[in-house]
Amino acid sequence: FLKGKTALVTGSTSGIGAAYAKALAGAGAAVMINGFGDDDAIARQCADLSAASGAAALHDGADMTKPETIAAMVARCHEELGGPDIVINNAGIQHVAPVADFPIDKWDAIIAINLTSAFHVMRAAVPLMRKAGWGRIISTASAHSLVASPNKSAYVAAKHGVVGLTKTVALETATDGITVNCISPGYVWTGLVENQIPDTMAARGLTREQVVNDVLLAAQPTKEFVTPEQVAAFALFLCRDEAASVTGANLSMDGGWTTA
Ligand code: NAD
């Protein structure tokens, strides 16, 4: 149902972003992926996406801390692939430290990548979507857009900010055929999470099962990780015409975390 449409997904060389790109290509969209990684792996990912969609797939290496490269990426997408009809703001990083010790450069990087980059993408993409009379803007927020955890000041502030940005742009575009929403996952099983397990096992003398259930999934009542594919399927629904009335929403997908 996305044949002839173009999607731009930031931070899509791994994890949730890669799953969004795969799902969008699977529905027929041309895709521009973004993010860091090994050149060969990125080339293979583009080839796989193109094979799945029957349309083009390109990578743009724009650094989400650099406003001018973000605007250039949106313009390049428009020129080389068309659209973007769908943008997904997904690039994100984390740093964990108490506020008094929080490194200033980490604060600045998290606010830039996890919040401000979404503003720059929307700023560049909204006029193009208005011209087309159709658009879907989705941002990966987090359960941390609704609740806090200690030692995550920058991440929690950025994710709360993404929700405010989303609501505002949803109102500004409400009569333009454009919807603007956030998906807020709880713990998602990505390489990032998986890689933490051996270290935590060693550091705390716990079994793998204890790390998963008592540390990672302590806040998630289902005791199940969200999967990147589930998040991507949710995003795909938001791209459907049936989802035209879903706008300005922060949609939780967190195994009950934020209801507890
Ligand atoms: P990930 O590390 O697998 O993916 C992050 C992506 O962002 C990668 O493609 C990386 O190259 C890219 N990236 C990082 N810095 C960048 C920069 N400066 N410029 C451009 N790209 C950059 O992580 P993930 O778990 O898939 O996270 C994706 C998003 O989902 C993030 O916004 C994260 O906050 C959010 N999220 C993750 C979880 C989870 O449990 N994994 C939960 C809720 C929300």
Q: Which of 20, 155, 187, 225 is catalytic?
A: 155
Asked about 187 being catalytic, the answer comes back as no
Average pLDDT over every residue of 201-223: 88
Question: Would you say the CB of residue 206 lies under 6 angstroms from ligand 1?
Answer: no
pLDDT digits over 61-89, tens only? 999 999 999 999 999 999 999 999 999 99
Nearest of 43, 34, 109 to residue 73 by alpha carbon: 34
User: pLDDT confidence of 200, banded at 50, 70, 90?
Assistant: confident
Q: Given this model, what pLDDT does residue 118 score?
A: 99
Q: Given this model, what pLDDT does residue 214 score?
A: 87
The whole-angstrom separation of Cα 31 and Cα 48 is 11
pLDDT digits over 154-185, tens only? 999 999 999 999 999 999 999 999 999 999 99
**Structural domains in the chain, sorted by start:** 6-188+227-259 (3.40.50.720), 189-225 (no CATH)
Whether a cis peptide bond, with omega within 30° of 0, leads into 84 is yes
The whole-angstrom separation of Cα 201 and Cα 209 is 9
Question: Would you say the CB of residue 255 lies under 6 angstroms from ligand 1?
Answer: no
Pocket mutation for ligand 1, best pick of 10, 16, 94, 193 (most atoms within 8 Å of C-beta)? 16
Average pLDDT, the chain: 96
Long-range contacts from 122-125, C-beta under 8 angstroms, 24+ separation: 122/87, 122/89, 122/165, 122/169, 122/180, 123/71, 124/70, 124/71, 124/74, 124/75, 125/8, 125/74, 125/84, 125/87
pLDDT at 193 over 90: no
Question: Would you say the CB of residue 90 lies under 6 angstroms from ligand 1?
Answer: yes
- What's the order of all strands across the beta sheet hosting 135-140? 57-60, 30-34, 6-9, 86-89, 135-140, 178-185, 250-253
Compute the distance from residue 151 Cα to the ligand 1 centre, in Å: 18
pLDDT at 199 over 90: no
pLDDT digits over 99-146, tens only? 999 999 999 999 999 999 999 999 999 999 999 999 999 999 999 999
Q: What does DSSP assign to residue 189?
A: -
